[in-house]
């Protein structure tokens, strides 16, 4: 049975890290959704203002990136990328219902949020430090890249294909969520000083939204320092 795993070394360096998990099956991922679209538009309007880029939750992720040797100004955490886009007056596009729901929840709670098509993944879904031999093709396609040794990556530990580089900077193309996707593992991440309850609230709102608007069947869970892996059951 496959698992979702956060390696011990992550908790050694980041003991306050928590990962909210949603395991989804039989989802209907429509190209449009009025309610999700409205929620995304409203939260984009609320997050206009430079102060959000300096919020302590955003700064916490920038500091985490520095601690594993990444430059958050050059490779910003995903939540900061969303906020920067809004500050520049650019609307976050509605890719599909699931991705739009991720972006809404990420902006509302100011935490990284994303997911992957499990049917494209062969092994365990593992968060850990790269060795440098892993394989990454960025979202949208492009040439093959290899993460730098010591970089935090989320990857398929059988094929060594990377779902996300620099923890939450850029997604890989192979496991992207499309309208045909049926089974998903979703991550909602928090790190000190972000309270665990914020991660749990974000996870639960997202789960409710996907159940209500996408007819998803799902379960929720939480990975912590005390519980570092969970079985991937559908």
Q: What pLDDT is recorded for position 142?
A: 87
Per-chain mean pLDDT for the chain: 97
pLDDT bracket for residue 74 (50, 70, 90): very high
C-alpha to C-alpha distances, 174 to 99, 120, 135, 141, 225, nearest whole angstrom? 15, 7, 11, 9, 29
* pLDDT exceeds cutoff 90 at 129: yes
Q: What pLDDT is recorded for position 234?
A: 86
Q: What pLDDT is recorded for position 19?
A: 98
pLDDT bracket for residue 46 (50, 70, 90): very high
Domain ranges within the chain, ordered by starting residue: 3-231
Sequence-distant (≥ 6) Cβ neighbours of residue 127 within 8 angstroms:
5, 6, 7, 10, 19, 152, 153, 154, 167
Q: CA-CA distance, 105 to 183, in Å (whole number)?
A: 19
Instruction: Please name the residue that has the structure tokens 């040439």.
Output: 143
Sequence-distant (≥ 6) Cβ neighbours of residue 224 within 8 angstroms:
18, 19, 196
Q: Which CATH number fits domain 3-231: 3.40.190.10, 1.10.150.120, 3.30.460.10, 3.50.40.10?
A: 3.50.40.10
Q: What pLDDT is recorded for position 141?
A: 87
pTM of this structure: 0.97
| Percentage above 90 pLDDT, the chain | 97
């Amino acid at each position: 049975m496959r698992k979702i795993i956060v390696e011990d070394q992550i908790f050694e360096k980041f003991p306050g890290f928590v990962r909210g998990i949603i395991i989804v099956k039989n989802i209907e991922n429509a190209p449009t959704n009025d309610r999700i679209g409205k929620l995304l538009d409203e939260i984009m309007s609320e997050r206009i203002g430079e102060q959000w880029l300096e919020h302590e939750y955003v700064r916490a992720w920038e500091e985490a990136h520095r601690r594993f040797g990444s430059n958050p100004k050059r490779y910003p955490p995903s939540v900061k990328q969303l906020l920067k886009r809004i500050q520049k007056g650019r609307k976050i596009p509605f890719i599909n219902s699931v991705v739009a729901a991720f972006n809404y929840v990420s902006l509302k709670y100011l935490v990284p949020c994303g997911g992957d098509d499990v049917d494209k993944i062969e092994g365990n879904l593992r968060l850990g430090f790269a060795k440098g031999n892993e394989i990454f093709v960025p979202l949208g396609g492009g040439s093959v890249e290899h993460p730098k040794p010591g970089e935090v990556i989320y990857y398929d530990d059988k094929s060594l294909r990377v779902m996300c580089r620099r923890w939450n900077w850029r997604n890989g193309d192979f496991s992207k969520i499309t309208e045909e996707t049926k089974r998903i593992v979703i991550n909602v991440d928090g790190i000190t000083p972000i309270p665990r309850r914020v991660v749990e609230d974000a996870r639960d709102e997202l789960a409710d939204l996907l159940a209500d608007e996408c007819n998803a069947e799902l379960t929720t869970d939480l990975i912590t320092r005390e519980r570092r892996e969970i079985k991937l059951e559908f």
